[in-house]
């Protein structure tokens, strides 16, 4: 019993962190789902959702209800256990990285020494989910989407990791909080602009978004890996995608845009979250913006760009960083 | 080797140009019309189904029941009939129906009408659930119109 009381604060902390993580995942999906459709509309000179609520603000609630009410169709020849597992696997791991993201100096679930590794490890599970989903659907479009996704994610993970590694060499830590704190005079985007650019490109490819959304290229593959998914199992994939967007944008904010630093507000240890979310959503806006600007790349262009440009450039960048860190 | 880098710069520049285009579009006013609530002004040149014209001088149409439209109609969708009445010069039109399910909107009837009493209407909201909804009684329509 004494052990229980000594552990109680930590237990409460865990529960609060888990709940807050869930709130961020779902809230972010709501906000981004609405913002994406609204921005897509205005970029095409149309208003976007307008029917449900003031300027369609409740559209996502209605969509959620609709998706929940739909039947979960499982194809006859699908591998049923794997087919049901894939959306869960796409969605469940996105909660874990939320725990280590430093939203402000004091708002952070756990300050792990290996926070970056944790995020990257859990973000990669998404690829596995897509592969399982595409494979078990027993549908050629799904399979093609899954294969493309794996090829693309494996390729783009390399420049992403190398560009982040340059920052890790400069700060000498994997802890996100310390990396954010290391940028107090100048943000790393000024010192490492090339790494930032490479990270942004790799981040778009990692989240499977346009112009790198080949896994779900609707003009060629119907809907790619989630062709056979309906109702809630489909929306779990979408929730996972938006949560992954949030995570990669948070990592970009922590690594390159100074985390929660900004113009001081009262109680800045807590209110830093305002600046943090502002930066994250600015990046998310950028993701949406390029989605509705660029046409989808061809698959060979995608691969060539990664192997011929991103990886050599990130390696050179890493090398220069290492040399400079050693000299200074 | 030279093209390796030049591609990067020309490509990168084209990406920035593209972003500028969409950003401009994002802050431009929307051009679509929220249809059931807003309606666009229909141009007078719009060629809807035919309708009888209501003339200001007589307060009604000027159909003389010549039947030219009925004969000219390639789809056989117009029926005109009339009778002789006391005090009325010529024939008095009693039936003028249009079977819009067959009408191909060719406009031959409008061109042939000797009194210019046939014209295209501006009607475009033409959804219906039964076939009978598209059998128009044009005489009734001209009376109901103000």
For residues B129 and B61, membership in a common domain is answered with yes
Domain count within chain B: 2
Tell me which residue range forms the domain holding B12: 1-31
Closest-CA distance, A46 to chain B, in angstroms, reads 5
Instruction: Judge whether A270 is closer than 8 Å to chain B, CB to CB.
Output: no
For residues B83 and B138, membership in a common domain is answered with yes
* Residue B17 confidence class, pLDDT cut points 50, 70, 90: very high
Out of A45, A290, A308, name the one closest to residue B32 (CB).
A45
**Across A115-131, average pLDDT:** 86
Which H or E run includes B21? helix B2-26
Write down the pTM of the prediction: 0.80
Does A41 sit within 8 Å of B22, measured CB to CB?
no
Does B18 sit within 8 Å of A289, measured CB to CB?
no
Do the domain assignments include residue B75?
A: yes
Query: DSSP assignment of A6-27, as one string?
Result: HHHHHHHHHHHHHHHHHHHHHH
Do the domain assignments include residue B41?
A: no
Do the domain assignments include residue B104?
A: yes
The ipTM, to two decimals, is 0.74
Domain boundaries, chain A: 76-327
CA angle A246, A252, A255 (to 5 degrees): 135
Do the domain assignments include residue B55?
A: yes
Instruction: Find residue B97's DSSP bridge partners.
Output: B79, B137
**Could you read off the pLDDT of A201-260 as tens digits, one per residue?**
888 888 888 788 877 777 778 777 788 888 888 888 888 888 888 988 988 988 888 877
Do the domain assignments include residue B101?
A: yes
For residues B57 and B9, membership in a common domain is answered with no
Q: Which residue of A has its CA nearest to B31?
A: A45
**Across B90-118, average pLDDT:** 87
Chain A residues touching residue B30 (CB < 8 angstroms): 41-42, 45-47
DSSP class of residue A108 equals -
Instruction: Find residue B118's DSSP bridge partners.
Output: B52
Do the domain assignments include residue B42?
A: no
CATH code, domain carrying B100: 3.30.70.3270
For residues B54 and B124, membership in a common domain is answered with yes
Do the domain assignments include residue B38?
A: no
Does B26 sit within 8 Å of A289, measured CB to CB?
yes
For residues B26 and B57, membership in a common domain is answered with no
């Amino acid at each position: 019993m004494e052990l229980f009381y000594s552990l109680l604060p930590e237990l409460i902390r865990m529960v609060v962190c888990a709940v807050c993580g869930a709130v961020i995942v779902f809230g972010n999906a709501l906000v981004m789902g609405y913002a994406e459709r609204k921005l897509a509309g205005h970029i095409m000179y149309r208003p976007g959702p307008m029917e449900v609520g003031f300027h369609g603000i409740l559209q996502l609630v209605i969509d959620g209800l609709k998706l929940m009410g739909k039947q979960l169709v499982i194809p006859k020849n699908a591998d049923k256990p794997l087919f049901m597992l894939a959306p869960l696997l796409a969605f469940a791991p996105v909660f874990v990285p939320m725990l280590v993201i430093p939203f402000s100096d004091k708002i952070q679930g756990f300050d792990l020494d290996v926070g970056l590794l944790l995020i990257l490890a859990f973000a990669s599970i998404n690829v596995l989910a897509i592969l399982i989903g595409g494979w078990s659907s027993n549908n050629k479009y799904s399979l093609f989407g899954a294969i493309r996704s794996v090829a693309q994610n494996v390729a783009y993970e390399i420049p992403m990791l190398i560009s982040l590694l340059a920052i890790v060499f400069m700060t000498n830590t994997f802890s996100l909080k310390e990396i954010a704190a290391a940028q107090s005079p100048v943000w790393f985007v000024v010192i490492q602009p090339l790494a930032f650019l490479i990270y942004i490109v790799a981040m778009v490819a990692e989240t499977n978004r346009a112009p790198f959304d080949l896994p779900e290229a609707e003009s060629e593959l119907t809907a790619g890996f989630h062709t056979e998914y309906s109702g809630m199992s489909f929306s779990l994939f979408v929730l996972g995608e938006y949560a992954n967007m949030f995570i990669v944008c948070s990592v970009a904010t922590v690594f390159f845009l100074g985390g929660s630093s900004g113009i001081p507000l009262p109680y800045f240890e807590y209110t830093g979250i305002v600046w943090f979310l502002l930066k994250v959503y600015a990046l998310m806006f950028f993701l949406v913006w390029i989605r509705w600007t660029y046409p989808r790349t061809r698959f060979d262009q995608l691969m060539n760009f990664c192997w011929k440009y991103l990886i050599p450039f990130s390696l050179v960048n890493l090398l220069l960083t290492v040399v400079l860190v050693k000299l200074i | 080797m030279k093209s390796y880098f030049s591609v990067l710069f020309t490509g990168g520049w084209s990406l920035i140009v593209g972003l500028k285009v969409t950003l401009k579009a994002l802050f431009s006013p929307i051009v679509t019309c929220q249809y059931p609530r807003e309606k666009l002004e229909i141009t007078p040149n719009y060629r809807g189904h035919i309708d009888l014209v209501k003339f200001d001088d007589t307060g009604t149409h000027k159909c003389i029941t010549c039947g030219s439209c009925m004969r000219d109609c390639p789809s056989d969708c117009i029926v005109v009939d009339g009778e002789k009445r006391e005090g009325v010069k010529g024939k008095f039109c009693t039936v003028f129906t249009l079977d819009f399910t067959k009408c191909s909107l060719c406009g031959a009837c409008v061109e042939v009408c000797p009194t210019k009493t046939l014209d295209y209407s501006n009607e475009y909201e033409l959804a219906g659930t039964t076939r009978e909804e598209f059998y128009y009684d044009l005489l009734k329509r001209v009376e109901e119109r103000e």
